[in-house]
Structures are given as C-alpha cells and as structure tokens.
Amino acid sequence: MMEPRDNLDWPRVADELGERFDVDCIESSVRGRLKAGRNNRLLVACSGGADSVFMLCLFAARRAELGLELHVAHYNHRWRGEASQQDEDFVRGITEGLKLPFYFEKRPENEAAFTETTARSLRLDFLRKVAREADCPFIAFGHQLDDILETQLQRLARGVGTEGLAAPRPVAEFSGQPTHLRPLLHLRSGDIRMTLNAVGIPWREDGSNEDTSIARNMLRHEVIPDLIEALDRDPSTGAARSRQLLEEDACALDLLARERMPEAFSSEERLSRVDLCALPRALMRRALVAWLNAHELTESFSASAMDMLIDSLLSQRRTWKQSAGASFICSDKKSIWVEEEEEGEAALQHVQFEPGETVVLSSGYLIESDLQTLDEKKRDAILCGRIDPSFEATLILPSEESLHVRGWRPGDRFTPLGSPGAKKLKDWFIDRGIPRKERKRLPVVTTASGEVIWVPGFPPADRYKINRDTKQALRLTYRPRNPR
C-alpha cells in the first residue's frame, strides 16, 4: 500500500490504469448489462480499500467508452475512530480529483453496528437510498475472485442451496431495488494490488481485517491457507468456476419453476397444493420461496421452517397451520394460503385531534402535538437532520383545522422529505425492512383530507418541510405512554 497523497493527479493515474485494463477487462456480464442499459448512472461503492479504488479508477478511465455517469458513495462505520474518518476523507479526495459527485453517511451513535452482518445491512440501506436519490439503476461493488471462496465457506456452514452458493453474482437483481454489479469478480486480489502499485495509486488498509475473531478474517488468514497447503492447489479458482456453474443451474431451475407454476411468482392468494406436490422437490422449494417473498414472508421463514413446510405439503395430513411471523401458512387437501393474525390486537383506532392535543393510541403509545415558535438554533437542528424521525417530526402546520391519526391502510401514499416522489406506504415499509406486524402498529398522521404528513420512522411529508423563513411549526412526537 502506498501512502495516500493530497496532491495526486487522479485523472492521470486513472488513465494509466485504464491503459493497462481496457473495457474488456470488466467482467463480461457486467459489461453487457452496462452497454444495454438506457440509464447508465452508476453508483460506485468505495470504501477506500484497494479493490474499490481500483474499480473506481477503472470506471473513471472507461466511462466515456461505456457511456457512464459516475456517482460515488462511502459509508463510514466509525469502527476505527480517526482511521475511519481518514478513509472517508481519502475517498472524498479521489472524487474531488476526478470531479465526481460524492455521497457519504456516518453510522449514528445509537446504532449497534459492531457485527459484520449489521454493518453490511446499514451500508446497503445507505447505498440503496443514495441510488434512488441519484436515479442510479446500478450499484457497483468491489468484490473480487478471492471473496468467492470465503463467501461459499460461510454459506456452506449455514446449509444453503444453489442460489446461496452462486453468490456473489456479477449481476444480481432485486425487486424494486437497484441492480448490484461486481465487475472485478474474475480478478485476483494480488493482481489488483500489483497494478495499483505499478501506476502509483494509493489505497487505505482496514486494520480490522487482521482481526481473526471475525469469521471472514479467520477464513482468509488461517483456514484458506491451510486448505491450500492440504490440497496442494489454490481452491479459489475452482470455487469461482463452481460459483459460475451453480449460477447457471440456479437460473435454469428458476426458469423451470416459473414455467411450471407461474402463479407462485405473483401475489396470488392461494396456490394449488396438488400442483405444488407434483413438482420435483427443488422446483417446489423455489416456487414456495417466490410465493412467500411476494407475500413479504421470506424473512419470517428459517431454513428449517421451509423444510417443515415442504414436508407438511407432501405428507398425508389434510389440514395444518404453520406460523410465519405475524401470519400463518394454512393448507387443506387442495390449497395453500396465507392467513393474517387477528387484527384486534394490532389495529389502531382512528382519532381526530387538534394541534396542541395528545392522542393516546390503542397500542399504548402517545402522539403529542404542539405549536412551536422556531428560533435559529431550533431551525438549524431540524434543517441539519439532528431530529430522530423515529420519534419526532417538525413541519409546517397544515391549513386544515384538524389532524387525524390511524393505522396504515392499503393504498396509502406518502412523499417523505428528500424522496424523489410519492409511492405506496407499503413500498416504503418494504424498503426500510419494517416487519409486517410492526406496520400495523405504526400510526399514520394525516390531514383532515387524508393526506399523509408523517409516519414515525420517516421524515415528515416533503410538502410540509420547514425552511429558513419558517417561524412557527407543528411538532409531533411519538413515545410510549409509560416509558420504562
């Protein structure tokens, strides 16, 4: 690793890297997807490490040839104090040198992100949010060939199938989310670093990557070297080929399942148990996963729960009911369907209130409202985002005299502050990963005409945002009635 320099000519070194790696060196399926796209705004996720810096410089050198509009995002986990801030500053310096838009976010103080899984989730949420705001249909990640074996070993321990072992894919699509691209999956980590050194491109090293108490680091530094010695060959290239073959198999099985049972890949209320049981078990599993996903129940189903569901369908039992989070999967001898839990516990009563009043919700929470005169300090705190939207919102007072609070209803639409436009509340809930049961408990604050102005966990409606000239505002807070 070279020491980062403030005066580095980033366009020059990026072009030098581009001379060594032409556009054909980008993974073929990624290259094909980018060339076929109509909207080629690409969000590059850059940590400051060697792989993502290499990727950013390669795209910068080849953006004209690919017709790309590049945007760069960095998530600061704040794991390593000053070193984490230096990572952020380093990536900012690259984007300034290359004259690219830069987006960044720091982990909030109250977020417990000190696990690899939680950290990855926080970063992904941030990247997807930025991609939506910047209208980027693609997010590029710096995974390279050596990451494949590490991922496969971790997933084998969990007992995944072809879909899981085919990851990370060079092109990964998600319903309602930007497509993930991994243009370096065919390149070795050592080759990437050698090239960066050769053209004088520095990068940042994450000291936590040496911590072998973290499973992935243990695999990289101890398990895989022992495996190489035991096998007398490098298994990473074999793992990469297996990943590709497994992806081919997974795509074929998915296509067959769609052909044999297309209704499972939609939001159909019921599926034929007879038709499901006529499928090979692998296709049956795929159809059920797709159907559960359409009903937003995938996260409520563990691997063992899925095995139990399949076994129950294939058994001689005529009727049964299996828990799935806040819902149940039910079956008789002909059909399988989703049954919601009783609404009584979760449903919120519709209440009308005036600004300045407090509403006691049936969930045991309060919605408090009061009119505030904003001084410069309060206004700055709101405009700078120092208000936690989970519990508080400050907005311009709607013109209607009364406000209403109720539970979420199908068809509700909302345009939170900073969003590109309105969409269904259900879709916002899905984007934020809010469980189905919790959605039923969240209050929806509306105007008398039914316009949604706030839902706890989101910023207030964009239409009612305050500005530098706002003198008086409505403050809404959401809290337990009897906090512990």
Binding site members for ATP: 47-52
Q: How far is CA 382 from CA 94, 116, 464, in A?
A: 31, 32, 13
Convert 161-192 to b/e letters by CB count within 10 Å (16 or more is b).
Answer: bbbbbbbbbbbbeeeebbbbbbbbbbbbbeeb
Q: Would you give the distance in Å from CA 280 to the centre of its chain?
A: 32
* Residue type at position 256: L
Closest CA to 408 of 484, 348, 471: 348
Strands 270-272 and 320-324: unpaired
Dihedral angle of Cα 122, 126, 129, 133, to the nearest 10 degrees: 170
The DSSP line for 338-375 is EEEPPSTTTPPPPEEE-TT-EEE-TTSEEEEEEEEE--
Query: Exposure pattern of 363-381 as b/e (b: 16+ CB <10 Å)?
Result: bebbbebeeeebeeebbee
User: What CA–CA distance (Å, rounded) separates 350 from 409?
Assistant: 11
**For residue 138, what are the β-bridge partners?**
42, 179
User: Strand 327-331 relative to strand 320-324: parallel, antiparallel, unpaired?
Assistant: antiparallel
Which residues participate in the annotated binding site? Answer: 47-52
Q: Which helix (H) or strand (E) holds 254?
A: helix 235-260
Contact between 182 and 143 (Cβ < 8 Å): yes
- How many C-beta atoms lie closer than 10 Å to residue 288's C-beta? 24
Whole-number Å distance between alpha carbons of 300 and 338? 13
Closest CA to 274 of 263, 265, 292: 263
Residue 170 CA to residue 140 CA, distance in Å, equals: 10
Q: How far apart are CA 357 and CA 4, in angstroms?
A: 57
Asked whether the beta carbons of 178 and 139 are under 8 A apart, the reply is: yes
| Residues 6+ positions from 186 with CB-CB distance below 8 Å | 27, 145, 240
